[in-house]
Amino acid sequence: MIASIKHNSRIYKIDLGNPIDISIPLTGKEDNVNAWYLGPPTITAHKQDGFIGSVEDGAPVNFNDIWFNPHSHVTHTECLGHITEAFHSVNQKLKKFFFLAELVTVAPEQMNGDFVISEKQLKYALGNKKRKAVVIRTLPNLSDKRTRQYSDSNPPYLLEEAAQYLVKKGVDHLLIDLPSVDKERDNGDLLAHKAFWNVNGKPREKATITEFIYVPNTAEDGTYFLDLQVAPMENDASPSRPILYKIED
């Protein structure tokens, strides 16, 4: 189904019948994607006073308890409340959900033993394009990103200058296929998070960072419409399901 969207006085046509889901689901299995030194999430039948919430075990319904951490176990969208003393809820800060987005593919470059994404790389990838949302796919882009165990692996990350560049470009929503935009062990500096949310100046309260996405290789770099939906949780971060829609000629 083709829909027409008006954005900044221009009419775009998008194919609603072919969504590109770039989220990683919560499975509750041992190979669930994971980071930050936690065990795997669990999805188990609730047990109480002899009741077992499983149709297989004789209950009329399946009634599962789910334990997980959004930062560790699933595609999630976070707001500046992730790094501030004051409480901020992503459910309150994210009130618009449809954005013109640019998908770019970047091969992190080696620097001081780490692999990083630099301002120079993003400048080359984005050129003169102005987008409210940027989706970063890193290379190599293997399907095991859906199940990778990231703890103690020192994954690639954004340099502070790269986050500052995105702010200058007017990017409000950053999506990336890594567990964090910052270095795994950085003594709590969180330079990219702080730069993107401008916590040392006028905080960017409407800006969001989405981590742990997976963009299939079949999706070509370019401009899409992004539908960024989060579970309605009053928390600094919430599980999310970002969907890309191709723009038709």
158-172 pLDDT, tens per residue? 999 999 999 999 999
Q: Which one is predicted more confidently, 118 or 8? A: 118
pTM over 0.85: yes
Other C-beta atoms within 10 Å of 231: how many? 15
The arrangement of secondary structure in 2-25+70-248, i.e. its CATH architecture, is 3-Layer(bba) Sandwich (3.50)
Provide the pLDDT confidence category of residue 2 given band limits of 50, 70 and 90. Answer: confident
Mean pLDDT of the chain: 96
Q: Give the position of tokens 């703890």.
A: 151
Q: Where are the domains of the chain?
A: 2-25+70-248
Q: What is the rounded distance in angstroms from the CA atom of residue 142 to the CA atom of residue 239?
A: 22
For residue 235, give the DSSP letter.
S
Provide the pLDDT confidence category of residue 8 given band limits of 50, 70 and 90. Answer: confident
- Specify whether the CB–CB gap between 173 and 132 falls below 8 A: yes
Kindly report, residue by residue over 189-199, the tens digit of the pLDDT: 999 999 999 99
Kindly report, residue by residue over 182-220, the tens digit of the pLDDT: 999 999 999 999 999 999 999 999 999 999 999 999 999
Residue type, 79: C
Say how many CA atoms lie within 13 Å of 64 toward its Cβ.
12
Q: How much of the chain, in percent, has pLDDT values that exceed 70?
A: 100
> Alpha helix (H) ranges present in the chain?
70-73, 90-93, 119-126, 160-168, 191-197
Q: What is the rounded distance in angstroms from the CA atom of residue 215 to the CA atom of residue 103?
A: 9
Provide the pLDDT confidence category of residue 7 given band limits of 50, 70 and 90. Answer: confident
